[in-house]
Amino acid sequence: IISGSHDKTIRIWDAETGKAVGVPLEGHTSCVWSVAYSPDGKQIISGSFDKTIRIWDAETGKAVGVPLEGHTDWAWSVAYSPDGKHIISGSADATIRIWDAETGKAVGEPLEGHTESVHSVAYSPDGKHIISCSDDTTIRIWDAGTGKAVGVPLEGHAEAVRSVAYSPDGKHIISSSYDKTMRIWDA
């Protein structure tokens, strides 16, 4: 298990015993809001209020390369593509960025369309689409290959949408909001 914290660290935990494994991963200069394992479990990514994304070696806990920079505000959410080749990040700057997981370089231009903070991002199980949600009360679907929006924003929540995820079969999207509801959408 991995966790990010307001103390600016990432910790790895043994899922069976609940005990910390090794020392905390340190390098961010502000709280760590989002963490994720790569599909092969060899790396960890983190997004922070310091506006950066970092890649870590899951075995050694050492940073891999330099921080990924490009967001102009907090990095709220990070996720790996199912094939592990790309990383996505959602930010308080209202954009989503796609990164090459091997080089750490930005892929294309930021995905723009939300008008407020992007709180959560996720890949579809087949890796063909990205979903995002925002304080603007919408959910958006993006073509992962082109970065173009797919269809119109999904609307229905009355307040900021904080989290989105795909079902394992990719047929549904689930969202949760400050309006105290969860919604299920046909993907």
Query: Do 7 and 79 lie in a common domain?
Result: yes
The domain tally of the chain equals 2
E-strand ranges in 83-171 read 86-91, 95-100, 111-112, 118-123, 129-134, 138-143, 149-155, 161-166
Residues 35 and 74 placed together within one structural domain of the fold:
yes
Has residue 146 been placed in a domain? Answer: no
Give a yes or no: residue 95 inside a domain.
yes
**Cα 125 from chain centroid (whole Å):** 14
pLDDT score for 144 = 97
* Alpha carbon distance 142, 120 (integer Å): 13
Which residues fall within 8 angstroms of residue 180, CB to CB, at 6 or more apart? none
Q: pLDDT tens digits for 15-47? A: 999 999 999 999 999 999 999 999 999 999 999
Question: Quick one: 8 and 82 in the same domain?
Answer: yes
For the question of whether the overall pTM of this predicted structure is more than 0.85, the answer is yes
Q: Is residue 158 part of a domain?
A: yes
In this structure, are 9 and 99 located in the same domain?
A: yes
- Look up the domain containing 127 and give its range: 117-141+154-186
pLDDT score at 78: 98
Q: Are residues 74 and 57 in the same domain?
A: yes
Give me the chain's average pLDDT, please. Answer: 97
